[in-house]
Structure 1
Amino acid sequence: MTAARITRGLAITVAIPTALFLTSSTALAASAGATADPVGVTNTETVQAQLDPSGKVRGARVYEQLSFTGKGRAKVANPVSTDGLRNLDGFGGLSVKNGSMNVDLAVDGEERLRTVSDFDKSKLPIKVAVTYTLNGKKLRKPSDAVGKSGRLAAQYVVENTSAKPRTITVTDGYGKKVSEETDVVIPMVGQLATVLPPGFADVSSNEANKAGDGKGGTKLSFTVTLFPPVGAASAEFGWSADVKDAVIPEAELTALPVSPLDSPTFKTAVDGYDSGAQKGTDLVEGGTALDANLIKLRDGAEKLLSGLLQLNEGAKTLNAGLADQAAPGADKLSTGAKELRNGLGELDRGAGLLREKTGEAAKGADKLDKGAGELQKGTKSLDAGADQLKSGTGKLADGLGQATKKAPALVDGLNQVSGGLKGVEDGLVQMYGGVGGLPAKAKPLHAGVKQLRDGIGSVSDGDTLLGGLETLKKQLAAAGPGIDKMRGGVHCASDALNAVSNGKPVGTYDAACYGAAAAALNGPAGALNTGPESNPVKKLILDSLLAQLGSISDPAPDLDKALPDDAKLQAALAYLKGRLTERAVPGIGKLQCGLDNRVVGCPSSAAGLVQGLGLVDAGVGALVSGVVASVQGGIGDSNDAPANKTLRGGINGLQSGVGQIQAGGKTLLAGLNELSGGATQLDAGAGALAAGTQRLKAGTGVLVNGTSQLDNGLFLLADGTGQLADGVGKASTGSQQLATGSSDLATGIGGAAEGSKKLSDGLQTAADGAPALPQGVNRLSTEGAKVLTASGAETALDFGRRTAVLTASADRAKTEGMPVGAPEGATATSAYSLKLAGASGEGGRSWVRLLAAVGVCVLAVGGVGLIRRRFAA
């Protein structure tokens, strides 16, 4: 039995370092003390620990092997554990000094030197703890399961205990160096293997790779990655099976220190963390650029608010000018025109009455003329009709007396008509001047419209409303590519994490995300990542991070609704881009079109505010100019005659006719006075008729001439009163037009005042709502861009921290990976083998057999002694 154990021990001693751990390539190293010798030195250290079934360490040994290849002389000092140090290649002694084994030998080809020594079990960097349950009940010790039946389960906890505090330096997303202290382990990967006997049925395990052992048993292997952040410092796994006459199977954990920066298996993870840190930095840069653009947007919104306030003040000024000045003035003009129309109506009626009376006077003059003719004829029979003459001359004297009395009243009436016409002329002159001053009152209206148009401005002037909107639209449109770049970075980070978590088939690594590494990953290196991550803790972390980033294929969010609370990063970026480029930019374009349809892309059929103000300005100018020109044209000037068909021309003609009537009236008065005197003489000298026949003939001639002049004067008076009536009629018609036009002017200005009030109210509403725009931009900056920047900085810091931990772990693997230490310049590899003993009850039966054997030996010894005594006897 002892020989068998020694044989198995030697086999293990040879097999472990040979089969498991001579996996690294041999490197040429300069031998210590023999710099010219081209001899390569490789040192392998294998720690083998014996554990009881629960994982408690019973003892540990370290197996050392020095391999020399090449030709020349090699001198090395190999650190060793000196406790129980033995030479496994012979019985020769070993030269040990200050904890190192000194070797000096000539090499021609290949030489090996193997040793074994005790290893301080407290220095093991890895430990295993096992608990067993039977039918769900925890067993006090593993051997309690031996010989039992039911559902047996084993739970293994493997822990990397090599953690030491280290200071790492990380660059955050803002380019700042951050120092942190964290625990760093020597990175290890391992595999625990066990074989369940054939009597174990319905074997179940969530973590193991299962296979048959070719003898009816079930082989289980568990792979562990025992270093953060790729894995965890500890791993837990297990199995369960239905058993009869149960035993506890043996198990063996093999673990190797690895350098994650040099291992192809973990190089992808390191590159992924580097890429994640870069993407976080990209997020910070994108968020910072977005925040800067939002600040510009806020400044543009404040300029828009200032422009709206100025526009509102201009609208108030326009409304005040129309409502407080233009509208009351137009009302006064309309009232004065109506009074003028009423006065000219009265004048028209008086002129008609005058024309009627002068007609009657003309008829009387005709009769007088005929009577004078008859008188002239009657003088031939004067002698025969003296009595009749006496009677006729008496009547003539009475009639002439009455005519003489009425003639001065006619002259006074004409003087009054002339004075009234002079007053009308003075009124028309005053009205002409008043209407001429109307354009000066319209100037504030033009100035207000010009101020509105200047405030709106153009898209090329950044200090105006249209220019501010153009700047705002360009800044919002420019945000889309920046957000697309951020989404691309998030997608690449998500792709890298997905590759680590779930694996990617060879040939699917996108060069846009992975850069130059895509070619290597699409080649042989890609075959190392074709399956899902086996470590559940690692996969949980990676999948959780993937869920936070979101998928690039997520459905586009509804921009008409608020962003859902459960939206992920990529969906939030898509929503932000849609809000800026599909809502804000077109809305500002429509606002520009509403201000001015000459902006590029606006429909020419829909007039903007600038065009409307231009029409208002032109319409007001045309209205005022047309009214002034029409009224002044209808009134005329002082040189107009009736042929000019103006008010003042008609008044001038009427005044001329009245003047002629006045001259004729005076002549008529003088003639009547003479006729009255002659009639008196005729009446007084009727007795001396015979003597005064010649004088009578002369008097009748004078009478005929006077009546002829009277008839002509009355004809001229009738003609003048006709012209007066015609002129007054025209003046009345013109005053009617003036009243109608001034009324329309008052109505139009009233409508314009009402429209300007609505414009002022609308601009006030816009000005009241405009402050919400810079406030919203500030919220977008604070709650959007800055949060995005902070998230990117945290992402860069997190991935940078992972990379720094891996780098520190790799440093520990290189400097502390050997259990004892390696010669200077040698290629060094190490491994740990922890064997967990089983429990089968064979130990008790072995003691029974041992006692039986002892009894047989005693009996045999006793028999020999008896024989000797017999022979001696």
Structure 2
Amino acid sequence: MTARRITRGLAVAIAVPSAFVLSTSQALAASSALSAGPVTVTNTETVQARLDPSGKVEGARIYEQLAFVGTGKVKLANPVSTDSLRNLDSFGGFSVKDGKMAVDLSVNGEQRIRTVSDFDRKKLPIKVAVTYTLNGKKLSKPSDVVGKKGRLEAHYVVENTSAKTESVTITDGYGKQIVEEADVVIPMVGQLTTVLPPEFADVTSAEANKAGDGKGGTKLSFTATLFPPVGAATAEFGWAAEVKDAIVPEAELTALPVSPLESPTFKTAVSGYQSGAEKGADLVEGGTTLDSNLIRLRDGAQKLLSGLLQLNAGAKTLNEGLANQAAPGATKLSGGATRLADGLAELESGASRLRTKTGEAAKGADKLDKGAGELQKGAKDLAAGAGRLKTGTGKLASGLDEATGKAPALIDGLNKVSGGLKSVEDGLGQMYGGIGQLPTKAKGLHDGMAQLRAGIGSVGAEGTLLGGLESLKKQLAASGPGIDKMRGGVHCAADALTAVSKGKPVGTYDEACYGAAAAQLNGPAGALNVGPETNPVKKMILDSVIAQMGSMGDPVPDLDKPLPDSAKLQVALAYLKGRLTQRAVPGIAQLQCGLDNRVSGCPDSEPGLMQGLMAVDAGVTQLVSGVVASVQGGIGTSKDTPASKTLRGGVNGLQGGIGQIQAGGKTLLAGLTQLSDGADQLDTGAGALSTGTGKLKAGAGVLANGTGQLGNGLGLLAGGTGKLADGVGQAKTGSDQLAQGSKDLATGIGSAAEGSGKLADGLTTATEQAPAIPDGAGRLSKEGAKVLTKNGADTARDFGRRYSLLSAAADRAKTESMPFGSPEGATGATAYSLKLAGATGEGDRSWIRLLAGLAVFGVAIGATSLLRRRATS
């Protein structure tokens, strides 16, 4: 079904208008690729045949054209028909050898050579046969139609006669290569057109595209895809009409060879057939896998049936055990658990009373233990204090000794500090002079800022940043009207193309688009354009161009987002205008304001870069002047004192203080020596105090241990009675839960017994129905999976055959599409034009008129002679 749909769709969609083919063949030749070399060569062969009204060939000619584009020397041999070979461009002849025309010339730009020669009518790859029927009766020859009246029918049969038997290789659904013999044609597409005169009424056709010819007649166009499997080697179509004084109209068949593997029109079919073959192979593989799994399902179902039989027997045994044994035992367990709960309740009451009395005794022991502990702690603190006193006096003595030894070093350090302060004083003097040079060094910074301000400039100064931005803003702002004119022009062009494609009523051509021509187009000239374009290819091109232009009313996309790829020309122009006038121009204005807020329209509250540079320039001057004065003032002079609050005044004060510290250091050294001797005596007394407090600590520890042991004993007794009461309480709680659980167990076992009975019944039903599973799996394998596999193989083979036929036809199109072939390295193209003559009876009428005229002439001569004889007599 898929293959037939693809075939029918392509056969209906493909059209090759003859007028378009013939009018553009030379253009195609001249515009071929220019990248093959210094000179590119295109060879076109157009075969024109004359046919009588029935389709019999009366003569044929072949027109050859060689088109050269580029610059350089060309030397080639072009295969041609040598029968009556003639030059269409001049009176000169050609050098022909072994059926090839020798060409040797120099090309500079574009050049062409055209010839015509006779073509063997027997070698035409396409033929036409026409039959006519009048009022249901077939006519023996077309001329019998002339002058008749009634319902006239014409039947055309167009056949591609290029078929020859070739071997094609097909891959079936199982991956095997199969070779078959098939008729392969040179693939062609064609179109037959004819125009029925205005006297033909009620024209009907099941296959043709109908349109008016602009003169009252009816133009019929039949299209045909003349190669399988997309189409067929033979196509049939026709028309019928009511006639009076009938004639046989002329007709023309044009055909072009095509390559289905390269033509964009047929790529869908090729890929569809190739994909269909692959899908068929996938279907075979899937069907085979499905069949294998169904066999496994059948075997597993048989094992399941065996297991269900065993499970059914076990369920019956479970039901008997639960109902006859477990349920009565659970009832007895529930009664015993209730009696155990009552006994534990009495035991819990006695244990609670014992725990209360033991707790009161334990509280007294706790108080005694607390007092002994506090005594022990005080003894410990006393012993620790005595130890710390002894240690401290020892450290004091040691520290005084160390201080006495290091005092001389302190005095030496102070001497060094005095020398360092002198160095600081010298450095501050140099710093005072260096700071004074700062204003001169800041001049380069002022110059750089002046250059920056000059570069920013103003909106009226050319060559500056602000001047350039102002010019750019004006140019962008002025682009809006120009783009509007472009949109208007595109709108008028779309209107004109629409008028050509679909026709336009007279009176609807406005002067805005058509100018002075509007008056003519709204009158007789416009009446000629009423009705749609009759050439389908030209109409398709016009409609495509109109669609790309779009409409003035189409919505403009969001300017802050990229332009969509689907946007039409008029929308793109509107988007461009918005981007320039609504985004670019305001952006440049903001950039100008950022450079200098004195530009017109800029807010005064937001200074620009120019204002910032001016402020920085002024600030640098103020900063340099202020820093010099401030730093020099902070450093001070050599005569300053600490009261001056300068660095040099402070250094001078430090130098005086250092002298006083040196004198005090000597006095400190003497006092430290006396303090060291007193510390040694204090250390001796602290040792005796530490020994006494150690003995007090030992006695307090013995008392604390005794009271602690008493408290522990009472605590253990209270804890034991408490644990006894807690254990009894827990035992009672457990017995209550046991009693309730035993009741629930008895109830649950009863429910389980009932459920096991239902389980046994369900398993019995399942055991009875289970045999249907392996039987169904077997049938599904035989009637489903295997059929699916076969259909997949048939599909793969059918699509593979179609693809192979297209591939073989494409090979013939590459090598045999041209009757004589192209020169080596040239691009070739071929077209066939078969013109069927009409029959109007004008030839017979001309003979009758000639004979009548001769008779009248004879009578006139006789009458003249008679009058002359009478006059002479």
What range describes the TM-score normalised by the shorter chain of this pair? 0.3 to 0.5
TM-score by length of structure 1 reads 0.44
TM-score by length of structure 2 reads 0.44
